[in-house]
Amino acid sequence: MEKRILGIDPGLAILGFGAIICQKNQNRVQSDSVKLLDFGVINTPSGTEVGQRLCTLYDDLHTLVEEFKPELAAIEKLFFYRMSNTILIAQARGVVMLVLAQHHLPIVEFTPAQIKQALTGYGNADKQEVQQAVARELNLDYIPHPNDAADALAVALTAWFGS
């Protein structure tokens, strides 16, 4: 049984996305497998009005969902940094949730600690350890860049491990 998962690392300036295809083998003759479909970021320029930046996220996310046709979306839960930054991330996250709901996608959410635990076995792992785990799980000979895209792939893999 094949499943496409879209992972999202929400942000207003940079929103990371990662899409994977997972194969669960029922017969257990072959092991389960996961393959990279694509990853990247949606950038919105800082000099642009916030409403327009949110519209860019909205439009680009619709395009991604239509392109990748995921059966499941995974998103990182909001983590509090600075209050001004948190509000902008929350606004971007609201747009993400709206787009996913409009496409009737089931959504799973994970905290940063849950993602680290799923990929490294340690909830306080550093970013480098998580990125190395992403590369290893996807059989890549490189760490995906930028960091926001690697984080989105980590969220997608966490959803896969939990399914």
Q: Tell me the per-residue pLDDT of 140-163, one tens digit each, with 9 for 90 and over.
A: 999 999 999 999 999 999 999 986
Looking at per-residue pLDDT, the higher value among 32 and 77 belongs to 77
115-130 average pLDDT score: 93
Non-local (6+) Cβ contacts of 51 within 8 A are: none
**Each residue of 123-134: pLDDT tens digit?**
899 999 999 999
Q: With 90 as the cut, is the pLDDT of residue 108 above it?
A: yes
Q: Which of 59, 66, 137, 148 is catalytic?
A: 148
Instruction: Label residue 82 by pLDDT band (50, 70, 90).
Output: low
User: Distance (Å, rounded) from C-alpha 67 to C-alpha 75?
Assistant: 18
- pLDDT value at position 81? 57
Any bridge partners for residue 35, and if so which?
A: 21
Q: Which of 59, 76, 137, 141 is catalytic?
A: 76
Q: Which of 72, 68, 41, 73 is nearest to 57 (CA)?
A: 41
- pLDDT value at position 38? 98
Give phi and psi for 15, each to the nearest 5: -110, 120
Domains assigned to the chain: 2-162 (3.30.420.10)
Q: Which of 9, 67, 71, 129 is catalytic?
A: 9
Q: Which of 16-25, 38-47, 143-152 has the lowest mean pLDDT?
A: 16-25
91-109 average pLDDT score: 97
Q: With 80 as the cut, is the pLDDT of residue 26 above it?
A: no
Whole-Å CA distances, 48 to 52, 58, 128, 139, 146: 7, 15, 32, 38, 22
- pLDDT value at position 83? 59
Non-local (6+) Cβ contacts of 154 within 8 A are: 7, 18, 115, 119, 130, 131, 133, 134
148 is catalytic: yes
- pLDDT value at position 84? 62
9 is catalytic: yes
- pLDDT value at position 143? 95
Q: Which of 13-22, 31-40, 51-60 has the lowest mean pLDDT?
A: 31-40
User: Distance (Å, rounded) from C-alpha 148 to C-alpha 18?
Assistant: 9
User: Distance (Å, rounded) from C-alpha 21 to C-alpha 3?
Assistant: 6
Q: What whole-number percentage of the chain has pLDDT above 70? A: 92
